[in-house]
Amino acid sequence: MYLDKEPIDFQADVVEASRSRPVVVDFWAAWCAPCRILGPILEKLAGDAGDSWTLVKLNTDLQQEIAAQYKIRGIPAVKMFLNGEVAGEFVGALPETQVRQWLNDHLPGAAKEALAVAEGALKKGDTSTAMVKAREVLDNGDVDPNLEKQATIILAEASFPTDPEESRKLAARFESGDLFFDRAEVVLTRYDLEKGELPEDEDSLARKLYTEGIKLWRAGNRDEAVEKLIESLGEDRRCMDDAARKAIIGIFHILGEEHETTLKYRPRFASTLF
């Protein structure tokens, strides 16, 4: 929706209006050539968006006090207001694709809200809620690809305790360079730690130490497991595609940064690497 009026009542048209729906303010002036490029793009996108957000154009020549209040030093300048506050901004005449991406990144929506709940639940160990909210997003069928990836990795992490095979399959969808690849790699490493097959051939000391470390981890001997894995890493970092390093990172992630084992062995792990 585009609110076509000049001058605007900033308190009513922007601040108060943003408490019910997002308001995007385009700070512009008639003499500004880049403004004449960006303005039609914003108006088109606002028209396409229906009532999901409102575009308001503020002429900085006519409303200098408002421009000064929001520290507008260059135009065009765009700010998004949510609940009376600035929630996002950019300066300059971006192309339409970048403006669309900026809107996707900053506009609230059901999928983003569901994923925020899912991430919070995951941090608290509430895997049931995390899975329900992640599936809500995936079942939608029409969601931003980045949000779909986020829902997939949340589902992979949350489902591990009850269905490690499904968790592994979900994490295996991510490729190097993908958003959330690091989290997927941790899931796959956790699977190897707890469910993966151990090397049959222990013809090198590094392999033997790695196998001993994994067996100790599965037996619940955390400190001893990390000890053996660090020894394996020091013996031959390249052994089995850097398996010992990945296993140690996975263990630290599972235990958490404040766990006594993580705090005890992270410095030694770092010194072994470097």
Catalytic residue among 35, 55, 229, 244: 35
Measured CA to CA in angstroms, residue 107 lies from 22, 58, 201, 262 at distances of 7, 20, 54, 38
In a 3-state reduction of DSSP, which class is residue 59?
strand
In a 3-state reduction of DSSP, which class is residue 36?
helix
In a 3-state reduction of DSSP, which class is residue 23?
strand
Task: For residue 76, say if its preceding peptide bond is cis, omega within 30 degrees of 0.
Answer: yes
Beta bridge partner(s), residue 3: 56
- Residues for the chain: how many in total? 274
For the chain, state the CA radius of gyration. 26
Instruction: Tell me the one-letter amino acid at 20.
Output: S
Do residues 27 and 77 make contact, with C-beta atoms less than 8 angstroms apart?
yes
**Among the listed residues 54, 44, 42, the one whose alpha carbon sits nearest the alpha carbon of residue 2:** 54
Say what the alpha-carbon torsion angle 7, 19, 154, 130 is, to the nearest 10 degrees: -170
Catalytic residue among 14, 23, 25, 32: 32
CA distance 118 to 116: 5
**Among the listed residues 83, 85, 155, 84, the one whose alpha carbon sits nearest the alpha carbon of residue 114:** 155
239 carries an active-site annotation:
no
Do residues 169 and 233 make contact, with C-beta atoms less than 8 angstroms apart?
no
Q: In the block, which residue shows the tokens 């090198």?
A: 204
Annotated catalytic residues are 32, 35
